[in-house]
Structure 1
Amino acid sequence: MLSFIKTVLIDLQSKNLNFEDLNFILPSKRAGVFLKYHLSTIIEKPIFTPDILSIEEFVAELSGLETLPNTDLLFRLYESYKHVTPENEQDTFESFSKWAQILLQDFNEIDRYLIPQEHIFDYLNAIKELNHWSLETNPTDLIKNHLKFWKQLKNYYAAFTDNLLQSKQGYQGLIYREAVKNLDAYINNSTNKIHVFLGFNALNTSESLIIQGLLKKNLAHIYWDIDAAFIDDNIHDAGYFTRQHRNQWTYFTSHPFNWVTSHYTEEKNIQSIGIPKLVGQAKYIGQILDELTKSKTELSKIAVVLGEEQLLLPVLNSIPKSITKLNVTMGLALEYVPLASFFELLFIVHKNNPSQLYYKDVINLLSHPSISRLFETETNNVSSDIVAHIQTHNLVYLTVADLKLISNSHSVYIDLLFQTWNNNPEIALKTCSELIFKIKSKLDSDKQNHSLELEYLYRFNTLFNQLIELNTDYKYLNSIAALETIYKELLSTETLDFKGEPLEGLQIMGMLETRVLDFETVIISSVNEGILPSGKTNNSFIPFDVKIENNLPTFKEKDAVYTYHFYRLLQRAKNVYILYNTEIDVLKGGEKSRFITQLDIENIHKINHKIISPDVPIIEPKTEEIKKTPAVMEKIKLLSNKGFSPSSLTNYIRNPIDFYYEKILGIKEFEEVEENIAANTLGSVIHNSLEDFYKPLENQILTIEHLKTFKNQIQDMVTKHFEKLYNKGGFSSGKNLIIFEIAQRYISNFINQEIKSIRQGNEIKILSIEADKTIDIKIDGLDFPIKLKGKVDRIDSFNGITRVIDYKSGKVEQNKVEITDWEDITTDYDKYSKSFQILCYAYMMWQQNLIQLPIEAGIISFKNLNEGFLKFGKKASSHARSKDQLITAETLNNFEVELKNLIIEICNSEVNFTEKVLD
């Protein structure tokens, strides 16, 4: 296959043109490298390299203006905006930057297409005057301001362009307009220059006039790269622009329209492959490349064309190890490198200039890999210690002083990260630069190779230097929010360029970088509607009908541009893999591109369609089982000697694996910061408050005076225990205030119920509060000590009947403290765990002769106080209504049998810890 570029060079050679005297104008700089390569293959003796320019470089040279970066243009536009707008009507730079970007794009398009500025701005203003939504005779201020904006557009444009032209600078559109103005002078001074334009398709009005002017004076040759299948089909979008040029340029009335080829209809292997998600596409690209390398396909003839730039990193990570040479032309967007997420977190912390730091922001920053290494010491990482301290002490909001108290040895880094920026961009920029040098210094001192991280730092240092320069020159950044807006704008345009040999190995590129280039094997990703083509995106102040009226491009023309690029890739290719995402995306849709459907309808090539899904292995659900090794048995013996608690035994009943992890391995649940007061904290506050109230009354009869005294102290008591348990979390607002009030209400309602009971003539005597007991249990067959331990919330005497009471802050129903069959009490956690716990407490008290049977045992549920004391009961059958609620020696003997059986099972080396599948 002869590439398009080589075909052009051969034709130029046949015309006996001297290559050294030619000026090649290409759609992109990238194509120039390939042109030089192909030129070297056809010349017979060394020559000086001809001038090779991209169209943007050529037009800039023609205009005599310097191209300004987009961010600089934004500041210059604001300068002009301030000049023509009364001070009391001016937007802040932050607000201005949100709409000015769109205005810059519109100015750019108006100039590139040489639209008379006065005409279009007056036209827009007239439309807005007609269309505004108010029918009132006297418009409101809102409408006046709305209409004033449209009236001012031409003033913004005039002031802005005058400002730029005075300094010999411009944006792309202005440069194009000036280049057209200078064309005649350029032609008069360039009578000996021959220009070769090759591979162009969609030309704006300025480019079209420049090329036609040079063609008319016989100072240029133009080579189109178009297939007959596209240009001769009057409705095919791939030939949309070249048909216009052929029909509308006067040059072609007297000169032939050459370079229409017929490569597209040649036989091709085209596969359309649907794959779920971006990563799925990346992995499949790796699979295709692996197959191609095994079949000895020449790598330099393969191009991977990425429809979405965020696919670059997954693709690079999916390339087979056998591919050692590759060239990435598109560059890695700086916003996707790890360091970008660090600065994003830093701006989140400081954007609103907080007086206190939110713990999640602090933890996110300290845990970021770029910063975490600054806190490394020889023995540990101090940032992990700070995070642990925050979690342990439940610190929801912190100050810089708090952080320094935790770790004063790293106060320099704490200041850099968290010291307030005072909403001052100068402080912010200085701090960011200092952080970059601190991280660099740390990397330099490390013996490992950190070349990639250092490259990231260099690029970000350059970016912040740009921001410092802009802020110094213009002084328009007056808030952190404004700085963040410009920072994000710069970040989105910067890339980290890869170094590679452009003519060797696998080529990875974006769609626009494929212009003029040809490959035998092409892999195109993300061929979905909304991506290829991009569809109806209208980021402009100029309405669709006004664009049509003034011959400005709309989404239809932009779709035609991508149609051309897509089909041009297919023209000379032999193997084509078209990948698309099968999963529906909320913003971009999940539908395959119309290009794929069009290929089918054309019926020129047979398209092999298939859907690929990841090979997901079927994993049979298997319950986890842990054998009781000698080491595990030693742990069980230590635990039994320390004492089994009722809650640990019910945990075993619920799921033996959880018991194993918690009690044998000692794995505790991760302790997060309680931003809102958790249920267990609420329960602990209620328990501790009632303990403080009732503990002094042990062995006393409860009186109404006692209880009234308690009522007056509820708020102070609850506050005391919340402060103790919840540390500095704060409970004076939001959900926490509600939970704080609930705790008081629960205790108040409980005391009211006690007062009511006493007034009804009941005698309540407090026997013991929070009785912490441990007993020994002898079990036949176990030759090591077994203990049972637990803390009983309350033991009292109610009209002479001893009651063992357990408090529950959650909701418990009466049926949860009743059993039918003794065997079920150690098997069904959901139904019988409450009964098991209260019987454990009663059993311990009985074994220590602290209570006289019969007794009652049960639960007081603070969420179900109206039901009063929920007594344990034994029913004769599941349907029986009557139940025995007195706990006798027989009751506890029956319970003892089940308790010992449960402990025997735990201590039996032959019975494994087997997972229970929970519903």
Structure 2
Amino acid sequence: MTPFLYRLAQHFYNRYKNTLHEHTFVFPGRRAGIFFQKYLTDISGKPLFSPTILTIQELFEILSPYQPGDRIGMLVTLYNEYAAISRSDESFDDFLYWGEMLLDDFNDVDKYLIDAEQLFRNVQDLKSLEADMSYLSEQQIKAIRNFWEHFMPAEGNDTKKKFQETWQILFKLYTAFRNTLHEKEYAYEGMLFREVAERTNAKEKMHLPFNDIVFVGLNALTPAETVLLEYLKNRGVADFYWDYDSPFVSDKQNKASYWMTNNLWRFPSHSSIEECVKSETPEKEKQTIELIGVPSAVGQAKQAGTILSQLIASGALDPEEAIHTAIILPDENLLLPVLYAIPQDIKKINVTMGYGLSHSSIASLIEHLADLQRNLRKSKDETAFYYRCVLAILHHPLITISAKNEAEFLKKHITDNNRMVITESEIPDHPLLQLIFKPLIRWEEIAQYLQSVLIFIYNRLTEEKNSKENNKEPDNQTHSGDLEREFIVQYYKSVTRLQETLAEVKTLSVDTYFRLLKQVVQHLSVPFSGEPLSGLQIMGVLETRVLDFENLILLSMNEGVFPLKKSTGSFIPFTLRKGFGLPTYEHQESTYAYHFYRLISRAKRIFMLYDTRTEELQTGEVSRYFYQLKYLYNNYFDINERVLTYDVSAPDNSPITMAKTPQVLRKLDAFKAGGDKYLSASLINRYITCPLQFYFSALEELSTKEEVQESVEAEIFGILYHSLMEKIYRRFIGKTVTPDTLTALAKNDAYLTELIEKAFAEHYFKDKDHPQPLQGQHFLIGEILRSYVKQTLESDKQFAPFRYIGAEYKFNSIYRVADHLSVNFKGSIDRIDQIEDGYRIIDYKTGSGTTNFKDIAQLFDSSKSNRPEHILQVFVYALFFAKENPNHTIFPALYYLRSIFNNFNPSITVNKQKIADISCFFDEFTEHFNACLQEIFDENIPFTQTKQEKNCQWCTFKEVCGR
């Protein structure tokens, strides 16, 4: 395989040798020029003066008096002109979105040399319009007429009328905008191109800083470019060489050939580059294509590494000189995964695309800072920050490096106190955190704010680097630290440049400033150091123009990614774009087709990787290009298809058991008499449900990570309800409660509101001393609590009058199980009432459940997923209450809030018979209870998983067990 640029270099060297430096070569991109120079060096075998190398954009810049303008600065200028012409009070924030579209549209209008007055005119008379468009074809005029007939403002159609009113000012805006830029001697790219083209059309004698110019590998020429090339051709100083040798590109049925015929006809080459090149024996061997489906984006990168290793092993790739192998990334987000996947045998790597600043760690931190400022709150006359934004910043690695201890303290403070907003006074006294957590009211403050943060982090990274160097500590991430500091420097420059650009803007929101900064950063990248003319080439699609490789690995060969399916916003509707000859999606498709087919035309081995996943917007569909190769050009290729699959089937997990080793037994001893831990009714229920769950929670003390409760979850709801009932009945301790008392309590809404606000302050907001009126969702939850409390009071009337004994009755005692075993046991009874001579033991449950059971054995039956565990819990409470208060009648009750509105009776029943005295069941209950406790402490019985997998559905340790 002889690359196109090599043949071109050989051709010109053979013809011009030592005078080659008098030529100027123009390429689509810089990378092609670098390779061309390399080939010249290889062919000559000696030093020689290089010809001038330019890109097509650089050529226009040389010939134009204008300087390329900064995009943000041009948007500001465009806004000022718009405000003056339309006399609108629209803010820059609102203008920005469609201002960007207008800038792109003006760019297209100029590159394609469109008569802007005709395009943006106020259409009133279609006949006069057609008369002015004699230079357009009938098909174009028909498309334009159809559009305007549809958009002529019908009576009462405000939308169409508004469209026409807006359309009327566009030509004035276009003209004024260009005039202002002309005065400043700046231009957007299209304006710069048009200026050069119009001067050539006017037969102006331009000064050319070259005598002979060669255009190489161009394809999709705009009218402005075409005019310049015609001008240079007519002056006899231009030559043209097109990379159209490929049978795919020259196939007129292929979209890749869209511009071929016209370009070859208008701009023929002076000579064939084959004349001075030794003829090659035609290769009979077919090109090989291997299509590989991978169900992962990162998996594609890893597979690319595997392919490279296979090429090295087969001798198709020299790891010391891999310049003939390229990895192409239509999705540039895969750059870092690809770099990590490259085999260590390959020492030299050249990344032509750089690493986008927007993907850096500092960029993500700035995004978090922007979110922080967008979500400012007010709390207690202080500025407050939304906890999610605060936590995102505190978890960021750059903050962890710079303020680790203070960040950890603040995170713990937020979770421990359930702080949904954090005030300025709660921020720890650390210089970086004090810099970050301050409100920005005006956009003019943002630049200094960001610069201060960037300087601090940069200095901290520098200190860490110097410390490691001074202490001679091994640092495997030295280069990543240096790269991060380079990102910070580039970000600092971007902030400074944006601030200077926006100097003329009078009004701007903080949010819009951050959006503009993000837009600036999106177009910046930090180049990787590498060998540009040796080693493995990693590049984006546009960097491949005019380059050829023997081994190609193309990632993301998915439809919609390559070719890219991206609709760009435009103020010019499709029909008008088509009618006036402006670029549409058809141009984009033809351009991508040319890049693809030209790229693969000289490769020997082509590997195409695509993502097979079908989730969210991903279809898992292979690019249309592969199907075209498979069904239209299959005579040229040996094609192999395969899909990589991963075994994701659930393995047959062996049951997990935890033997009672000496270490486990020591942990169990802590629950025995004399130890410092206690069993409870809930732990006993947990053991019966799943012994392994008991082990994880009671012995290993594992639990879910505590998080901020932004909404009132079931657990918090239950705590609030318990607190309300305790506070309502507190003043009646030892007193008789009558039906009239309960009615009065239910009607006293002001009192209930006060109690609800206090309960929220203590248990939800974690700020007991500052109750406040509830708002929004919290108000609604408060009203739901009020309804439950009132219905509970109504339900209590069926037992009134009764004597209220107390709430949250706590017991803490040693329970003798057997001669050799006594355990610590504790609990808290929600409420105790005295009715006549008996005591009612009450337990509140926020969910639903049963108050009836079959027999005592059912309470301890671990084989049932619907075991009445709440009844067992109230039995345990009654048992220990009876031990402390003997010779009393005790009957249990369960208040299920979800059932309390349905004529609910809270009394516990056995076989639907109300329990009048629970002590009748104590002997049998104690027998089962003691057996359960002995099993827990039996060293020969391990902790095992439950056999009832329904019990695992909501278990905290479900993933640990693999259930």
TM-score by length of 2: 0.87
Whether 1:900 and 2:930 are equivalent positions in the alignment is yes
SS of 2:252's equivalent? Answer: coil
Deviation at 1:257, TM superposition (A): 7.8
Whether 1:113 and 2:112 are equivalent positions in the alignment is yes
> Structure 2 counterpart of 1:199, which letter?
G
Q: Which residue is 1:878 aligned to?
A: none
Of 767-776 and 57-66, more deviation after overlay is shown by 767-776
> Structure 2 counterpart of 1:415, which letter?
Q
Of 47-56 and 365-374, more deviation after overlay is shown by 365-374
Picking from 881, 885, 902, the partner of 2:915 is 885
Fraction of identical pairs, as percent: 28
Picking from 153, 157, 172, the partner of 2:170 is 153
Q: Which residue is 2:216 aligned to?
A: 198
Residues 1:104 and 1:884: Cα distance change in structure 2 (over 3 Å): closer
Q: Which residue is 1:31 aligned to?
A: 32
SS of 1:136's equivalent? Answer: coil
Of 341-350 and 587-596, more deviation after overlay is shown by 587-596
| 2:365–2:393 CA contact under 8 A, matched in 1 | yes
Deviation at 1:429, TM superposition (A): 1.3
Deviation at 1:840, TM superposition (A): 0.7
Residues 1:716 and 1:544: Cα distance change in structure 2 (over 3 Å): closer
Q: Which residue is 2:295 aligned to?
A: 276
Residues 1:33 and 1:617: Cα distance change in structure 2 (over 3 Å): farther
Picking from 396, 402, 421, the partner of 1:368 is 396
Whether 1:416 and 2:435 are equivalent positions in the alignment is yes
Picking from 325, 329, 341, the partner of 1:302 is 325
Distance 1:396 1:560 in 2: 53
Residues 1:896 and 1:176: Cα distance change in structure 2 (over 3 Å): same
The superposition leaves residues 665-686 of structure 1 with CA deviations (integer Å, 9 ceiling, x where unpaired) of 2233322222222323332333
Deviation at 1:98, TM superposition (A): 0.2
Distance 2:560 2:880 in 1: 71
Whether 1:291 and 2:290 are equivalent positions in the alignment is no
Deviation at 1:559, TM superposition (A): 0.9
Distance 1:579 1:40 in 2: 35
| 1:818–1:832 CA contact under 8 A, matched in 2 | no
Number of residue pairs matched by the alignment:
888
Picking from 630, 638, 659, the partner of 1:606 is 638
Whether 1:227 and 2:245 are equivalent positions in the alignment is yes
- Note the residue ranges of structure 1 that are not aligned, 5 or more in a row: 876-881
Residues 1:618 and 1:144: Cα distance change in structure 2 (over 3 Å): closer
SS of 2:906's equivalent? Answer: strand
Residues 1:124 and 1:895: Cα distance change in structure 2 (over 3 Å): farther
Residues 1:787 and 1:588: Cα distance change in structure 2 (over 3 Å): closer
Deviation at 1:693, TM superposition (A): 4.2
> Structure 2 counterpart of 1:702, which letter?
V
Distance 1:684 1:192 in 2: 84
Whether 1:463 and 2:494 are equivalent positions in the alignment is yes
* Equivalence map 1:196-275=2 (5 Å): 196-227=214-245, 229-230=247-248, 232-247=250-265, 249=266, 252=268, 267-275=286-294
The superposition leaves residues 379-434 of structure 1 with CA deviations (integer Å, 9 ceiling, x where unpaired) of xx111111111111122223212x24xx2x32x43332221111x11111110010
| 1:224–1:258 CA contact under 8 A, matched in 2 | no
Residues 1:358 and 1:148: Cα distance change in structure 2 (over 3 Å): same
SS of 1:790's equivalent? Answer: strand
Distance 1:176 1:4 in 2: 28
Q: Which residue is 2:14 aligned to?
A: 14
Q: Which residue is 2:774 aligned to?
A: 732
Residues 1:23 and 1:627: Cα distance change in structure 2 (over 3 Å): same
Deviation at 1:437, TM superposition (A): 0.5
> Structure 2 counterpart of 1:553, which letter?
P
| 1:350–1:420 CA contact under 8 A, matched in 2 | yes
Picking from 185, 195, 198, the partner of 1:178 is 195
Q: Which residue is 2:450 aligned to?
A: 432
Deviation at 1:695, TM superposition (A): 4.8
Distance 2:299 2:210 in 1: 55
| 2:249–2:598 CA contact under 8 A, matched in 1 | no
TM-score by length of 1: 0.91
> Structure 1 counterpart of 2:110, which letter?
D
- Note the residue ranges of structure 2 that are not aligned, 5 or more in a row: 127-143, 379-383, 469-477, 954-963
Deviation at 1:707, TM superposition (A): 3.5
SS of 2:642's equivalent? Answer: strand
Deviation at 1:700, TM superposition (A): 4.3
Residues 1:60 and 1:391: Cα distance change in structure 2 (over 3 Å): same
Deviation at 1:325, TM superposition (A): 1.4
Q: Which residue is 1:164 aligned to?
A: 181
Q: Which residue is 1:66 aligned to?
A: 67
Deviation at 1:162, TM superposition (A): 1.6
| 1:20–1:50 CA contact under 8 A, matched in 2 | yes
Whether 1:453 and 2:484 are equivalent positions in the alignment is yes
Distance 2:256 2:250 in 1: 10
> Structure 2 counterpart of 1:517, which letter?
L
Whether 1:793 and 2:835 are equivalent positions in the alignment is no
Distance 2:16 2:897 in 1: 100
Distance 2:780 2:576 in 1: 57
Of 817-826 and 109-118, more deviation after overlay is shown by 817-826
> Structure 2 counterpart of 1:787, which letter?
N
Deviation at 1:596, TM superposition (A): 0.7
SS of 1:229's equivalent? Answer: coil
The superposition leaves residues 304-328 of structure 1 with CA deviations (integer Å, 9 ceiling, x where unpaired) of 0011111112212222232221011
The superposition leaves residues 460-505 of structure 1 with CA deviations (integer Å, 9 ceiling, x where unpaired) of 1111011111122x22452112212211211221112211111111
The superposition leaves residues 505-547 of structure 1 with CA deviations (integer Å, 9 ceiling, x where unpaired) of 1100001101111110001111222222224735322233333
Distance 1:728 1:872 in 2: 36
Distance 1:200 1:685 in 2: 73
| 1:523–1:578 CA contact under 8 A, matched in 2 | yes
Picking from 943, 946, 952, the partner of 1:913 is 943
Residues 1:456 and 1:398: Cα distance change in structure 2 (over 3 Å): same
Whether 1:779 and 2:811 are equivalent positions in the alignment is no
Deviation at 1:182, TM superposition (A): 4.0
Deviation at 1:869, TM superposition (A): 4.0
> Structure 2 counterpart of 1:98, which letter?
Y
Of 99-108 and 693-702, more deviation after overlay is shown by 693-702
Distance 2:630 2:341 in 1: 30
Deviation at 1:851, TM superposition (A): 4.3
SS of 2:940's equivalent? Answer: coil
Distance 2:153 2:308 in 1: 61
Residues 1:764 and 1:663: Cα distance change in structure 2 (over 3 Å): same
Q: Which residue is 1:48 aligned to?
A: 49
Residues 1:85 and 1:597: Cα distance change in structure 2 (over 3 Å): same
Q: Which residue is 1:529 aligned to?
A: 559
SS of 2:390's equivalent? Answer: helix
SS of 2:528's equivalent? Answer: coil
| 1:282–1:314 CA contact under 8 A, matched in 2 | yes
| 1:115–1:550 CA contact under 8 A, matched in 2 | yes
> Structure 1 counterpart of 2:357, which letter?
L
> Structure 2 counterpart of 1:8, which letter?
L
Deviation at 1:659, TM superposition (A): 1.9
Distance 1:540 1:136 in 2: 27
Residues 1:359 and 1:294: Cα distance change in structure 2 (over 3 Å): same
| 2:301–2:338 CA contact under 8 A, matched in 1 | yes
Deviation at 1:698, TM superposition (A): 4.8
The superposition leaves residues 64-108 of structure 1 with CA deviations (integer Å, 9 ceiling, x where unpaired) of 32112322322232233234332xx14211111101212122211
> Structure 2 counterpart of 1:329, which letter?
T
Whether 1:830 and 2:858 are equivalent positions in the alignment is no
Q: Which residue is 1:136 aligned to?
A: 155
Distance 1:5 1:111 in 2: 32
Of 77-86 and 819-828, more deviation after overlay is shown by 819-828
Distance 1:211 1:808 in 2: 84
Distance 2:273 2:572 in 1: 37
| 1:200–1:224 CA contact under 8 A, matched in 2 | yes
